[in-house]
């Protein structure tokens, strides 16, 4: 047995042991505890907290934005809800102006027009400082909320120890391409296994941007840190959801996951945008993992296993694949053990998930293994080597001249214009998604690799 073969065999064996332990514990802890719904009894109908919904948008499609706002307007929540739509210097402002005008007629809605693009984080902060609700719900402008999202997130926030809570994400364009189908399954796993297991210990490590609720008092105490994030002396302007979650945990607050609060968001339908998104997320994950390491001694030991599994596991897999390919190229020897282990673990994983989700389509998630090995692992390695790079990648082409490369410019005048008068109607009808279809316990009748 040569050195390459030995290295590949040892690396894949260690990866198998680590992944089996990590994923097994994740599945166990992701099962809801018997008292998981106890907090729902804490809300009294006479004293419901007020909620401010903040929707930052940049160059958003008018129809998509209108559908997002319509889903917020249709929330079945008896408490006070105010909505702040922040147009972050969009270049297509003329196209979205009719949407702004229609919703600005509703006294529930406030439209804030920023004179130039300053980035999602500063756009959020402009609205946070203007609003005054007890709770703040951040919603992405390409996201559609189920009608009961606020009503399901608020009970979790009644516990004063909870600083943030996120809902379950699905892909609104899941049926568009093979990639959107895989991403939708990826979201299910991220929410109903990873986040659900972390929530067992009150430490969801990333409350995702499309649908995350925060306690205002906690948010205000962290706002300066949130606004001025730096990495190696340079401004760090993406990964705002993960960074804000880590700040909440550092401040001693719990972060939670509510599977019944379902939000459908648009996901990339082509590999190019998907890989650029994954590159930003990988850099954000690595940066905030370094920040979050200090938290681990004060958290349950499972969270340490979680962090090790998510960061060391891919490195072991990458080492095994690289040495296996080198062995094949240099000695014409097929690394059978490495291939067998990868195939076996993939099939076992997909079978378990298909059984848990009660959806046969998850057997097709095995195709994601090829994307992970040949695209995402090299991308993560590149992200690790370029952590200081803060380019948005997807924003650089649309930002104005003062914001080249996706870097955020300092905000001069946070609020250029707002309006609130009586409402006459919505700009466009809301598409009706069966958001409940992808909840924690879907129907068992789904067909392999197909949509309803």
Digit-coded pLDDT (tens) for 33-60: 765 444 454 445 568 999 999 999 999 9
pLDDT reported for residue 387: 82
Q: How far apart are CA 171 and CA 175, in angstroms?
A: 9
Question: In this structure, how many other beta carbons lie within 10 angstroms of the beta carbon of residue 235?
Answer: 14
Q: What's the predicted TM-score (pTM) here?
A: 0.85
Statement: residue 17 has pLDDT above 80: yes
Q: What is the pLDDT of residue 233?
A: 65
Decide which of 3.90.550.10, 3.40.640.10, 3.30.420.40, 3.20.20.140 is the CATH code for 28-303+392-438: 3.90.550.10
**pLDDT tens per residue across span 337-363:** 999 999 999 999 999 999 999 999 999
Produce one character per residue of 72-83: b if its CB has 16 or more CB atoms within 10 Å, e if not: bbebebebebbb
- Among 144-148, 247-251, 362-366, 431-435, the least confident range: 431-435
Assign 447 a pLDDT band (cuts: 50, 70, 90).
Answer: very low
How confident is the model over 264-276, as a mean pLDDT?
Answer: 96
Q: How far is the C-alpha of 65 from the C-alpha of 67, rounded, in Å?
A: 5
Comparison of pLDDT for 166 and 235, the residue scoring more: 166
Query: Mean pLDDT, to the nearest integer, of 386-399?
Result: 59
Percent of the chain at pLDDT > 90 equals 70
Over residues 179-186, mean pLDDT: 97
**Tokens matching residue 373:** 């090995």
Confidence check: pLDDT of 270 > 70: yes
pLDDT at 204 > cutoff 70: yes
- Residue 389's pLDDT band, with cuts at 50, 70 and 90, is confident
**Tokens 């993992």, residue located:** 289
Nearest C-alpha neighbor of 66 from the set 426, 433, 420: 426
Alpha helices in 120-215, H assignment, sequence order: 120-130, 149-157, 178-189, 196-199
Angle between the N-to-C axes of helices 301-331 and 271-292, in degrees from 0 to 180, rounded to the nearest 10: 130
- Backbone phi, psi, residue 400, to 5°: -80, 180
pLDDT of residue 272: 96
Mean pLDDT within 83-108: 95
**For all residues of the chain together, what is the average pLDDT?**
85
Q: How confident is the model at residue 236 (pLDDT cuts 50, 70, 90)?
A: low
Structure tokens belonging to residue 282: 């990988």
Q: What is the DSSP string of 408-445?
A: PPPPS-S-S----------SSPPP---GGGGSSS--TT
Higher-scoring residue by pLDDT: 280, 149: 149
Lowest mean pLDDT segment, chosen from 20-29, 65-74, 322-331, 433-442: 433-442
Residue 415 has pLDDT above 90, yes or no: no
Domains of the chain, residue spans:
28-303+392-438
In this structure, what token pair is assigned to residue 149?
């999202």
Question: pLDDT tens, 108-131?
Answer: 999 999 999 998 999 999 999 999
405 vs 392: CA distance, rounded Å: 7
Query: CA–CA separation, 164 vs 203, rounded Å?
Result: 10
pLDDT of residue 292: 84
CA 274 to chain centre: 14
The model's confidence at residue 445, banded by pLDDT at 50, 70 and 90, is very low
Of the chain, the percentage scoring pLDDT greater than 70 comes to 81
Section 369-374 average pLDDT: 95
CB 396 within 8 A of CB 36: no
């Amino acid at each position: 047995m040569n050195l390459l073969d030995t290295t590949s065999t040892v690396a894949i064996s260690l990866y198998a042991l680590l992944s089996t332990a990590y994923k097994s514990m994740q599945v166990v802890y992701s099962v809801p505890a018997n008292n998981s719904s106890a907090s729902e009894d804490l809300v009294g109908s006479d004293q419901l907290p007020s909620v401010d919904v903040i929707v930052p948008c940049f160059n958003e499609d008018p129809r998509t934005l209108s559908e997002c706002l319509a889903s917020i307007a249709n929330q079945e929540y008896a408490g006070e809800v105010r909505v702040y739509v922040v147009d972050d210097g969009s270049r297509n402002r003329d196209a979205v102006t009719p949407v702004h005008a229609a919703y600005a007629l509703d006294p529930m809605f406030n439209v804030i027009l920023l004179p130039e693009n300053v980035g999602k984080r500063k756009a959020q902060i402009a609205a946070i400082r203007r609003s005054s609700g007890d709770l703040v719900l951040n919603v992405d402008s390409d996201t559609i909320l189920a009608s009961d999202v606020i009503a399901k997130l608020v009970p979790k926030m009644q516990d004063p120890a909870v600083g943030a809570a996120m809902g379950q994400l699905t892909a609104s364009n899941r049926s568009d391409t093979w990639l959107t189908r895989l991403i939708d399954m990826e979201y299910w796993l991220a929410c109903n296994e990873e986040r659900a297991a972390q929530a067992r210990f009150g430490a969801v490590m990333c409350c995702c941007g499309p649908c995350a609720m925060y306690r205002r008092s906690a948010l205000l105490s962290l706002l300066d840190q949130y606004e001025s994030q730096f990495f190696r002396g340079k401004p760090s302007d993406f990964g705002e959801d993960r960074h804000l979650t880590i700040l909440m945990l550092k401040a001693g607050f719990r972060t939670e996951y509510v599977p019944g609060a379902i939000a459908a968001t648009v996901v990339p339908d082509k590999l190019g945008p998907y890989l650029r998104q994954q590159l930003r997320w990988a850099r954000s994950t690595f940066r905030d993992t370094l920040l979050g390491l200090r938290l681990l001694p004060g958290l349950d030991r499972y969270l340490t296993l979680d962090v090790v599994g998510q960061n060391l596991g891919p490195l072991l897999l990458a080492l095994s694949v690289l040495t296996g390919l080198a062995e094949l190229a240099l000695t014409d020897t097929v690394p059978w053990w490495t291939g067998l282990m990868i195939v076996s673990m993939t099939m076992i994983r997909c079978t378990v998930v298909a059984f848990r989700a009660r959806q046969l389509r998850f057997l097709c998630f095995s195709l994601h293994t090829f994307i992970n090995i040949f695209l995402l692992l090299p991308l993560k390695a590149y992200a690790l080597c370029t952590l200081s790079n803060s380019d948005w990648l997807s924003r650089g082409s649309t930002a104005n001249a003062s914001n080249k490369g996706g870097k955020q410019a300092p905000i001069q005048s946070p609020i250029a214009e707002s309006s609130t008068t009586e409402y006459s109607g919505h700009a466009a009808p809301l598409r009706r998604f069966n958001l409940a279809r992808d909840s924690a316990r879907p129907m068992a009748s789904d067909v392999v690799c197909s949509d309803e």
